[in-house]
């Protein structure tokens, strides 16, 4: 489970960087609040790493991931 989380984190980083690069290469300026989002992502990564390695067991980590995915799925259904 933890090795999967590390692989997913790298994928998300590369995917986000590619998206931002594509956005800027099409002539769009980097949004003003980009640094705020980067800071929030780093803080979330640190918190997630702490929870995954020291605070939560594998079963609790799986339940937490399930809750997060359910929230994301519901949000996607409601916002189209």
pLDDT, one tens digit per residue, over 42-66 is 898 888 778 777 777 778 878 888 9
- Residue 9: pLDDT above 90? no
Query: Band of the pLDDT at 1, cuts 50, 70, 90?
Result: low
All structural domains of the chain with their residue ranges: 2-79
Residue 2: how many other CB atoms lie within 10 Å: 11
Helices 34-50 and 2-25, axial angle in degrees (round to 10): 170
Q: Given CA atoms 76, 70, 36, 23 in this order, what sign does their dihedral have? A: negative
d(CA 28, CA 10): 25
Output the pLDDT for position 40: 92
For the whole prediction, is pTM greater than 0.75?
A: no
Residue 48: how many other CB atoms lie within 10 Å: 15
- Residue 80: pLDDT above 90? no
């Amino acid at each position: 489970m933890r090795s999967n989380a590390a692989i997913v984190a790298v994928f998300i980083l590369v995917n986000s960087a590619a998206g931002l690069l594509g956005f800027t290469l099409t002539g769009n300026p980097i949004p003003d609040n980009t640094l705020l989002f980067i800071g929030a992502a780093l803080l979330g990564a640190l918190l997630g790493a702490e929870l995954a390695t020291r605070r939560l067991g594998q079963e609790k980590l799986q339940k937490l991931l399930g809750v997060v995915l359910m929230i994301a799925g519901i949000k996607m259904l409601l916002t189209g």
